Amino acid sequence: MKFSWCSLLALYLHTWAISPALPEESAFTELEPQVITRSEALKRLDPARIEGSETLRKILNSVLDASRGNPVFCELSMRFQCLDRAEELMDFAVAHPDHHTSTDVIRFLLRNNLADSIANRLRSSGPSTEADGLVRILSSSGTKEAFHILKNLITNIEVPPDRKKMIIRSMATTRAGSSSLIDIHTSNPLSPELALLASRVLSLTPWESVRSRAGESFPALGNTGAEGFTLAELRLLNADPDRGKSVFTDPVIGCIRCHVIGNSGVAFGPALTLIGEKLSPEALLESILSPSSGIAFGFEAYEIELDTTEVLYGIIASETKDFVMLRDSLGANQKIDSASIVSRQKSAVSAMPQGLAKLMSPQQLADLLAFLESLRGPE
């Protein structure tokens, strides 16, 4: 095949035209060559040396000032325990919620008793994606302090319901978060609307013990939706791929939280951009009704226990001798030191929730299927 500038341009324009307007993750601040050299030297410097030296401290501060908005800023601030940089660290986490450095930043702030300043930031920020990013990082950090902050927000009457819903969805993505959600409801019942959402998302978690506790603490849904419908039955309905697309992007059903189509969505599970070519309609239905019956290669879920007794759950995005990059179902990446891993266990259960069809009417499932079937490359 021969490529010309024209066809490249056409391809570029095509990709551009079909890519939906998702906010791009903002770029990192560029570093001047001198700042890079100095930051490399500082990374090797024993933090104790800074204590006694006014000159070194000045250099550190000038490098920090020149590298705000770059991961280097965070690495150095954390290495030298610059607690006075907490607000700027949070600015970074808010601007780059999916970068592993942001997870480190939030853990660092929590470890250093700065939970209050995170909570303040969450309370004061408007109904923006800014707060959503922070909530996601907090939930995936899996620490007690983080859940404490989230719990206070859920039970605070001044926090708007949409923010609370976002928090409930985030908490239900980790085992510890799910348990603490059940505890919150047990000690201080959620409003009926929030309780319904919580019972839905908890009934979809991969942990049997969580599901059964949730079943006791929350009113049963009593509705099996489209569960158990066969392809032949669904074919009797008039399906519409456009309506199916809104099922796909529905925040409670949540396909979009774990799958990418084109440029939108979260890359937790496999990209579905061309899934209509890869899987037959039968296989598509099967992967929605019983995800664990065939787990896509490379997308197996793991539970990783750390020496701090925290247990993290997710898909291993990459791995070297020294660290494991774990991606959770909110798309947040965490860089875990191999040395801190006590055990890791592959889960026989898919990281895609069982029972999503319960959340849809048969019509919605038929529409969703038609939408997935339509996801093909250009003829």
Selected from 268, 285, 334, 370, the binder of ligand HEC by CB under 6 A is 268
Cα–Cα distance between 178 and 374 in angstroms, integer? 35
316 sits near ligand HEC (criterion: CB under 6 A) = no
Query: Which CB atom, from 184 or from 375, has the smaller least distance to ligand HEC?
Result: 375
Phi, psi of 325 (to 5 degrees): -100, 110
Number of residues that bind ligand HEC (CB under 6 A): 26
| SS3 category, 268 | coil
| SS3 category, 335 | strand
269 sits near ligand HEC (criterion: CB under 6 A) = yes
Whole-angstrom CA distances from 53 to 46, 59, 93, 294 are 12, 10, 30, 60
Nearest to 237 by CA among 372, 368, 374: 368
146 sits near ligand HEC (criterion: CB under 6 A) = no
Selected from 114, 214, 253, 261, the binder of ligand HEC by CB under 6 A is 253
Selected from 296, 306, 317, 325, the binder of ligand HEC by CB under 6 A is 296
Nearest to 313 by CA among 267, 288, 346, 348: 346
Selected from 39, 141, 287, 334, the binder of ligand HEC by CB under 6 A is 287
350 sits near ligand HEC (criterion: CB under 6 A) = yes
168 sits near ligand HEC (criterion: CB under 6 A) = no
Written as one string, the DSSP assignment of 9-72 is HHHHHHHHHHS--PPPPPPPPP--HHHHHHHHHHHTS-HHHHHT-HHHHHHHHHHHHHHTTSHH
Site for ligand HEC in 355-374 (CB under 6 A): 356, 368
Query: Which CB atom, from 231 or from 296, has the smaller least distance to ligand HEC?
Result: 296
In the complex, what is the shortest distance from the CB of residue 283 to ligand HEC, in angstroms, rounded to a whole number? Answer: 8
151 sits near ligand HEC (criterion: CB under 6 A) = no
Interacting span for ligand HEC (CB under 6 A) from 115-123, 149-157, 174-182, 347-355: 347-355
In the complex, what is the shortest distance from the CB of residue 104 to ligand HEC, in angstroms, rounded to a whole number? Answer: 24
Using CB under 6 A as the criterion, which residues of the chain lie in contact with ligand HEC when the complex forms? 253-255, 257-259, 268-270, 272, 275, 278, 284, 287-288, 291, 295-296, 299, 329, 350-353, 356, 368
